[in-house]
Amino acid sequence: MNPLISITLLMTLILSTMIVMISSHWLFAWIGLEMNMMAIIPIMMKKPSPRATEASTKYFLTQATASTLLMLAVILNLMHSGQWTIMKLFDPTASALMTMALAIKLGLSPFHFWVPEVTQGIPLTTGLILLTWQKIAPISILYQISPSINLHLMITMSFLSILIGGWGGLNQTQLRKIMAYSSIAHMGWMTSILLYNSTLTLLNLLIYIIMTFTMFMLLIQNTTTTTLLLSQTWNTTPVMTTFTMLTLLSMGGLPPLTGFMPKWMIIQELTKNDTLILPTLMAVTALLNLYFYMRLAYSTALTLFPSTNNMKMKWQFHPTKQMTLLPTAIVLSTMLLPLTPTYYILL
Amino acid sequence: MDLFTSSTLLTLLMLITPIMASSTNLYKNSNYQHYVKNMTLSAFIISLIPMTMFIHTNQEMLISNWHWITIHTFKLTLSFKMDYFSLMFMPVALFITWSIMEFSMWYMHSDPNINQFFKYLLIFLITMLILVTANNLFQLLVGWEGVGIMSFLLIGWWFGRTDANTAALQAILYNRIGDIGFLLSMAWFLSNTNSWDLQQIFVLSQNPSNLPLMGLTLAAAGKSAQFGLHPWLPSAMEGPTPVSALLHSSTMVVAGVFLLIRFSPLMENNKPIQTMMLSLGALTTLFTAICALTQNDIKKIIAFSTSSQLGLMMVTVGLNQPHLAFLHICTHAFFKAMLFLCSGSIIHNLNNEQDIRKMGGLYKILPFTTTALITGCLALTGVPFLTGFYSKDPIIEAATSSYTNAWALLLTLIATSLTAVYSTRIIFYTLLEQPRFSPLMNINETNPALINPIKRLLVGSIFAGFILSNNMPPMTTPLMTMPLHLKLTALMVTTLGFIIALEINTYSKNLKYPHLSNFTNFSTLLGYFPTIMHRLPPHLILTMGQKLATSLLDLTWTEIILPKTMTSIQLKASLLTSNQKGLIKLYFLSFLITMTLVMLLFNYPE
């Protein structure tokens, strides 16, 4: 793509999220969300193919619906409260509608159906942007309206997301779809703690972004999109197999890696609020996620898959792609656990 | 201590002396048998003293000797209860044992272990007396188990024969099933009346619940071979004839009925238990009488006859007449022991032939045995004014004139007539007609060790009924008047049985049935009971045990329930969530409709 166009699109993307985050007028926030959607559609179509077209169409349809619903909720709020400030909503119907609109935007269950299909149809880098940057704007709105969100709706959607994220990923070999289901599950964890202690939502988002960024960077390095391709990384860069395994385990939430931190905090907050069944079930279903991460780690790092003799020579050559921030990201996504007390920064 | 106490204890202690003498040299030579026999004789004579004193003064006695153990409020002592039942039974048991010991000096003459045999018989006698004189349930259990163990050792006397070993084990197993009931009632009595003493139990639980009484009935059914737990008694005929005479006709098998008689004050007011005992006894008596009709082993016929009489005793207890049952125990002991001794004489004289189809014509050859056998059979069937009449006839009279179960009564009457039938069968096949055994038999009955016991028991079979019933103090009101046809019931059915049996037996000389009918099969195979019950329940229970251990425990609980179920659930769920059809329009449409409806319904609920 023409570099001028791609810079414009990227700038618009960044600007739109900024607009959503700093606005205090509902209309402005809506504008930001629309710009976000408009900017990313061409990015998705960088390499035109029927698959990409289908993905971007699906993305457009769902996100447009979500924005419309958001507008409806804003109008209802205006009707009941007479003002446009971004704060808690004053009508339960408006609150429910806005929650559902943001759920569609994030890909929470039961509106999760678009996430795997869209993620599968786009190149890896765009998928990275989709699963990390695009989550910031809706979460920021959710953070601001959190006092008025209906508890039952939120908890139902988040627990269902965790389940769907776990069960859906079991049947996959395409890595992008696996990352999509993992994103659904993590969104579930994030929104479950929103009404009890919203700071932890932001913490979870931060850690999730770091880990997903690391994972995608590792995948982009060798353009591996299937498990089969991933199992050949020991031929090209053997050291990356270790890092892949560590990142995957961190995403699964194993101590003493970073991914354990948000899960631990969330379970602690939930138990402090006397809900015991929910964190138990959430922790148990997180095992499903861990299972398919382990399957990937098994075929990548724990076993050396057979390959042709030509493949075995690839490590002798220097990598041609740029490893953007990969070492930093790997360190951040595996060794951040001792810094847990610093999450008070987010308060 | 006065004469009553000292003579009782002396009787019991005298019998222990030969046991202790078995560790000396006396055990090695042949005088030991005479020693034991004479000790039993002396014990018998001394035991007549307390019996006479009791008849004279009607004073019961309780000897409580040695304080054994106290657990919290529960006290266990060694105590002997000398009342009506135990004082009357002791001389009878000692008399019969004395006669049998003299007989076994002839019968077991060529056995190298004859001294051990006598020791076993003596230990059996001691445990039986412990059982009879026990005042608390623990001592009774000691006696109960003791007679069971001695029965095992004596039935399996010729242990080289597998049938004997099987029969001994069978006796133990069936008795054990009865012991479950015994222990159940012991536990109930302990927890509800805090004592195992009979006096305390009778005072504290006037109307006990059905549970301990069912337990006692089960114990009696096990020990006294009632229906359901009866197969061990015919199998026990594998033991030597003196053993059959002592244990399985007179003494051990009556222990069960004796237990029920001891506890009869608890069952006076409990109609359901009495009805149950009545039905059980009636079923037993008829079933075993039917089985006795087609047996070919002389000892088995007499064994089934014993079983039938035990059923009759159970019927009597079920009619709430424990004293009549006790009288029948005492009189039955005489003629049944004599029948066994006669059969022992016949068997030994015919060179160990036990099949009645190969006997015959012994009428002129063994005159004394013939006399005894015929008298015994007549006494068994209750011919007037012999021994059996004085106990059997009052039982039938009590049954016909009491407000009782007509079906049980009918069964009892049929069994009474069948008693006459199989008695006639024994007499006909062994004594009458032409001889069917090999001509080279060495038959004589001149040995006094054979003749004297049979002579004594013969006198007993004729006169004991008269003597006992006239000297026993009456404990219940006897029934004085009844219609003539009820009075003559027993006599009439017995006569009917005799006539029919004689007719049919004479037929067997001229007619022959071409093939066996189903009824004959039923009777010969003992009602198919052992065939079914000795194979099927153990097989079912053992397969169930195996299936429980492997299929249920190993396979299901530890493998299928959690791991495999979890696996299948996860597989199905993952397939469900990741297979989607892309029906976008449908999804959006359903979303729209849902939203509209929800908003309308929640905002305008009317």
Summarised one tens digit per residue, pLDDT across range B560-591 is 888 888 888 888 888 888 887 777 888 888 88
Task: Look at residue B424 and tell me if it is in a domain.
Answer: yes
List CB contacts (< 8 A) between A170 and chain B.
Answer: 570-571, 573-574, 578
Of the candidates B415, B407, B420, B395, the residue with the CA atom closest to the CA atom of residue B308: B415
Burial class (CB in 10 A: 0-12, 13-18, 19+), A144: middle
At B359, which amino acid appears?
A: M
Q: Which of A92, A164, A170 sits opposite B570 (nearest CB)?
A: A170
pLDDT of B511 > 80? The answer is: no
pLDDT of B160 > 80? The answer is: yes
At B480, which amino acid appears?
A: M
Task: Look at residue B411 and tell me if it is in a domain.
Answer: yes
Strands (E), B221-285: none
ipTM for the whole predicted complex goes beyond 0.85: no
For the beta carbon of residue B481, count every other beta carbon within 10 angstroms: 6
Burial class (CB in 10 A: 0-12, 13-18, 19+), A111: buried
Contact B226, B220 (CB under 8 A): yes
What is the number of H-type helices and E-type strands within chain A? 16, 0
Task: Look at residue B537 and tell me if it is in a domain.
Answer: no
Least confident of B24-38, B223-237, B271-285: B24-38
Burial class (CB in 10 A: 0-12, 13-18, 19+), B77: middle
- Residue A342 at interface with chain B, using a CB cutoff of 8 Å: no
3-state secondary structure of A37: helix
pLDDT digits (tens, 9 = 90+) for A254-266: 989 999 999 999 9
- Residue A58 at interface with chain B, using a CB cutoff of 8 Å: yes
Residue B268, both tokens: 């006076």
pLDDT digits (tens, 9 = 90+) for B264-277: 999 988 889 999 99
Burial class (CB in 10 A: 0-12, 13-18, 19+), B291: buried
Using CA atoms in the order A92, A97, A102, A108, what is the torsion angle rounded to 10 degrees?
A: 100
pLDDT digits (tens, 9 = 90+) for B223-246: 999 998 999 999 999 999 999 999
Average pLDDT for residues B103-117, to the nearest whole number? Answer: 92
CB–CB contact B578 A116 (8 Å): yes
pLDDT digits (tens, 9 = 90+) for B46-78: 999 999 988 888 888 888 878 988 888 888 999
Report the gap between the CA of A228 and the closest CA in chain B (Å). 20
Comparing B22 with B345, the larger pLDDT belongs to: B345
Least confident of A61-75, B111-125, B155-169, B542-556: B542-556
Report the gap between the CA of B173 and the closest CA in chain A (Å). 55
3-state secondary structure of A276: coil
pLDDT digits (tens, 9 = 90+) for B193-228: 888 998 888 988 888 889 999 999 999 999 999 998
Number of structural domains chain B divides into: 1
Domain hosting B271: range is 1-512
Task: Look at residue B29 and tell me if it is in a domain.
Answer: yes
At B207, which amino acid appears?
A: N
Burial class (CB in 10 A: 0-12, 13-18, 19+), A166: buried
CB–CB contact A168 B602 (8 Å): no
Most confident of B183-192, B469-478, B482-491, B571-580: B183-192
| B293 Cα distance to chain centroid | 20
Q: Whole-angstrom distance between the N-terminal and C-terminal Cα of chain B?
A: 103
For residue B599, the chain A residue with the least C-alpha distance is: A93
Domain boundaries, chain A: 1-344
Instruction: Specify the pLDDT at position B557.
Output: 81
Report the gap between the CA of A157 and the closest CA in chain B (Å). 15
Alpha carbon distances (Å) from B389 to A158, B419, B475: 94, 13, 19
pLDDT digits (tens, 9 = 90+) for B482-504: 888 888 888 999 999 999 998 88
CB–CB contact A58 B584 (8 Å): yes
* DSSP letter (8 states) at residue A62: H
CB–CB contact A97 B575 (8 Å): no
Task: Look at residue B565 and tell me if it is in a domain.
Answer: no
Report the gap between the CA of B599 and the closest CA in chain A (Å). 7
